[in-house]
Amino acid sequence: MSNSNQTLKMAIIGCGGIANGKHMPSLAKQPQAQMVAFCDIIQERAEKAAAEFGTEGAKVYTDFRELLKDETIDVIHVCTPNDSHSEISVASLEAGKHVMCEKPMAKTAAQAQEMLDAAKRTGKKLTIGYQNRYRNDSQYLKQLCEAGELGDIYLGKALAIRRRAVPTWGVFLDEEKQGGGPLIDIGTHALDLTLWLMDNYKPKSVLGSTFHKLGHRENAANAFGPWDPEQFKVEDSAFGFITMENGATIILESSWALNVVETGEAKTILAGTEGGADMKDGLRINGEKLSRLYDTKVDLNAGGVAFYSGAAENEADLEQRLWIEAILEDKEPVVKPEQAFVVTQILEAIYESSKTGKAVYFE
């Protein structure tokens, strides 16, 4: 077990939206984490992060390779655009650091494989930031699935649908830096959640279609203000039909802009031999008892909520606490890199299938 007095020296590489929105505020609440170094290609961003979240004398860098020379740093959080996830994670692992990389694992499956190999080679821990697993509804449903309440789960629907909420900041619309649009951005969360709940990581084939139907519009209605059609280089929606080795099927729907009224992000619908579940309106479980059908809405506030330091933890805080525990107690992280790798493989196959018009088969 860990020594509760032990602290980890953490460094943040990439001090933009996700670092400020999730990683740094949650790490700041962890007594065993000290943020000692910050790196960003824009120096002011790293300086601002250091001033707000850093320990006294926290160092600021614009080149991650310089940061990695500091042997006192234990853990790196990679919060950069997707195209640099693999390069920075591999270099960090090689430098003897544990790594939490923001989702998706990498832009391509080949890059994700390099990360897996580096983690095995160095013996350092690697995890990916799929924080939706730590939500109350996800955690409860995982327990139900593990207890066999749904039986053999043979159908999953992974949903990440927005009607009009295209992110217009950062590099979200840049295919070169991101590798794709809503599929790799929010579809990745829904797919991770669904595979994890089904505990099924053996894909057999993938058929996919992607669309760029609304991205070229001028002054389009959008929650985050109109996008620039010239900048919109990625798909606005993507869909996948995934068949697993055991015959189970997963349907993935993802979009930033789709003319539908029913929306939902990082949600899943599961159907098994003994029952089903969905996250459409809270968490609902359905099944059959005494020859009658039933469905029940689960009250997630009545007990069973993770309490910590006297306050309910949100998913981001729980994610960081369990990650720190995994390092200090030498346990497997909740999000195993092998699982995140399969997510990346499937996403890549959807893009590939959409380009060729043919199904992609896994060896």
Looking at the predicted structure, is the pLDDT value of residue 329 above 80?
A: yes
pLDDT for 1 equals: 43
Question: From edge to edge, which strands make up the β-sheet containing 360-361?
Answer: 292-297, 284-289, 275-278, 264-272, 153-161, 249-255, 237-244, 203-211, 360-361
Residue 310 pLDDT class (50, 70, 90 cuts): very low
Judgement on whether residues 244 and 207 belong to the same structural domain of the protein? yes
Judgement on whether residues 219 and 357 belong to the same structural domain of the protein? yes
Give me 350's structure tokens: 């959807």
Identify whether 1 is part of a domain. Answer: no
pLDDT for 352 equals: 98
Identify whether 3 is part of a domain. Answer: no
Domain total in the chain:
2
Looking at the predicted structure, is the pLDDT value of residue 299 above 80?
A: yes
Which CATH number goes with the domain that contains 209? Answer: 3.30.360.10
Question: What mean pLDDT comes out for the span 268-287?
Answer: 96
What does the buried/exposed string (b/e) look like for 202-228 if buried means 16 or more CB atoms within 10 Å of the residue's CB?
Answer: ebeebbbebbeebbeeeebebeeeebe
Closest of 165, 133, 134, 172 to residue 343, by C-alpha: 133
Average model confidence (pLDDT) across the chain: 95
Judgement on whether residues 144 and 117 belong to the same structural domain of the protein? no
Judgement on whether residues 182 and 261 belong to the same structural domain of the protein? yes
Which CATH number goes with the domain that contains 71? Answer: 3.40.50.720
Judgement on whether residues 122 and 267 belong to the same structural domain of the protein? no
Question: What mean pLDDT comes out for the span 237-253?
Answer: 98
pLDDT for 303 equals: 56
HSE (side-chain half, CA atoms, 13 Å) at 232: 23
Identify whether 50 is part of a domain. Answer: yes
Identify whether 2 is part of a domain. Answer: no
Looking at the predicted structure, is the pLDDT value of residue 188 above 70?
A: yes
Residue 290: partners with Cβ closer than 8 Å, 6 or more residues away: none
pLDDT for 301 equals: 76
Judgement on whether residues 126 and 195 belong to the same structural domain of the protein? no
pLDDT for 62 equals: 98
| Residue 267 φ/ψ region, left for φ over 0, alpha for ψ in the -120 to 50 degree band, beta for the rest | beta
Judgement on whether residues 90 and 218 belong to the same structural domain of the protein? no
Judgement on whether residues 91 and 182 belong to the same structural domain of the protein? no
pLDDT for 307 equals: 45
144-167 pLDDT, tens per residue?
Answer: 999 999 999 999 999 999 999 999
Residue 116: partners with Cβ closer than 8 Å, 6 or more residues away: 126, 337, 338, 341
**Domain containing 159: what range?**
133-308+343-361
Judgement on whether residues 170 and 90 belong to the same structural domain of the protein? no
Q: Are 244 and 204 in contact (CB under 8 A)?
A: yes
The strand ranges marked E within 44-186 are: 59-61, 75-78, 98-102, 126-129, 153-161
Looking at the predicted structure, is the pLDDT value of residue 84 above 90?
A: yes
Question: What mean pLDDT comes out for the span 115-133?
Answer: 98
**DSSP β-bridge partners for residue 307:** 312
pTM for the model stands at 0.95
Judgement on whether residues 191 and 278 belong to the same structural domain of the protein? yes
Judgement on whether residues 226 and 293 belong to the same structural domain of the protein? yes
Judgement on whether residues 117 and 164 belong to the same structural domain of the protein? no
